[in-house]
Structure 1
Amino acid sequence: MKRSSSHRALLYGRSAAMGCIALLLLVAGVVSSWDSAQHIVLAKGREHGTMTVTGCGADVCTGPFAPADGATARSRVTTEKSVAVRKGGRFPVVVKPGTDVVVRTGLPGFLHAWTPLGGALLLAALIIGGGLRLTRIAWSTGIAGAALLVATFIAL
């Protein structure tokens, strides 16, 4: 059966829309992850040390910062609350420049920072497989996202 040009245009339009949605998801995942990951990936010249959690609120946990290098000790810094942060816990951190906000470093911190990208990869895999009908690429994308999320869960 021969398809009309309007039917082909509709198929191309659907593919373009699905491709834009998948790309938007991936870009949003990278941008969201980069907000924290930049301080871990580009940590040279930043203040490194250890944070001891003394208390947690609804969104953030606080505690003192003990510097590892020539940085300044701080009596109170904050970090994003996650399931891996408990009162009394100590972990390596890097201070965001110009603030008293710290980001966890090391492999657990690195993986935790990229968690939004893992979720975006999983969501994009559904769009790529279902909307674009590119099953191999969808499986690869989904497996990469799931591997990142599982690695983060194990590391934390």
Structure 2
Amino acid sequence: MPATARTARQASGSALRFGRTAATGALAALILFAGVWGSWGTAQHVMLTKGRERGTVRVTRCAGDVCSGPFTPVSAGARPRARVEIEKSVAVGVGTTYDVVLKPGSGDAVRSGPAGVLFAWVPLGGALLLASVVVAGGMRLVRPAWVLGLAGAGLLTAAFVALQ
């Protein structure tokens, strides 16, 4: 085989490897971006509480995907409300009181404190797990994939433990 054919084959193989790495890297970045985007909608209310109404809600009723109850304020400027809604999850039960932050301009409450912060970032934990598979399989980067996977599993585990 002539040297030019061998060089051309090596060059095309390198280009294909680079293309695969670039495409799967872009996919992994997109997955991580989607995880942050999905988490930030709730996390911003839990993490940036200055000027927001903070208090507690005692869950008195659950129907469908929503639980509700009276809101008792603990922050200055917050007012008591007869009924606010909190998203029903595995960790929300009737008769239990939760620390919450109200979303501005609505009666929707989100869990606050360490449990609320961890629960808000659960979509990012799932994205980290999914991105680890893409990084390991498509980019052939095993160690960074383990780091991503363990970070995702750690985040999900911490959220599960904090909500119990």
Gaps of 5+ in 2: 1-5
Instruction: Give the structure with higher Rg (CA).
Output: 2
SS at structure 1 position matched to 2:84: strand
CA distance in 1, matches of 2:101, 2:88: 16
TM-score by length of 2: 0.91
Kindly indicate whether residue 107 of structure 2 is the aligned counterpart of residue 90 of structure 1.
Answer: no
CA RMSD of aligned residues (A): 1.2
Deviation at 1:55, TM superposition (A): 1.2
Match of 1:72 among 66, 69, 79: 79
Match of 1:12 among 15, 18, 37: 18
Deviation at 1:11, TM superposition (A): 1.5
CA distance in 1, matches of 2:136, 2:102: 40
Residue 146 of structure 1 is matched in structure 2 by 153
Deviation at 1:5, TM superposition (A): 2.4
TM-score by length of 1: 0.96
**Aligned letter for 1:122?**
L
Match of 1:56 among 56, 62, 71: 62
Deviation at 1:6, TM superposition (A): 2.4
- Cα deviation per residue 1:111-140 (whole Å; 9 max; x = unaligned)? 000000000000000001111011110000
What percentage of residue pairs aligned between the two structures are identical? 55
Deviation at 1:14, TM superposition (A): 1.1
Task: Point out 4+ residue stretches in structure 1 off by more than 3 angstroms.
Answer: 1-4
Gaps of 5+ in 1: none
Kindly indicate whether residue 120 of structure 2 is the aligned counterpart of residue 113 of structure 1.
Answer: yes
**Aligned letter for 2:156?**
L
Bigger shift: residues 1-10 or 71-80:
1-10
Deviation at 1:69, TM superposition (A): 2.2
Deviation at 1:33, TM superposition (A): 0.4
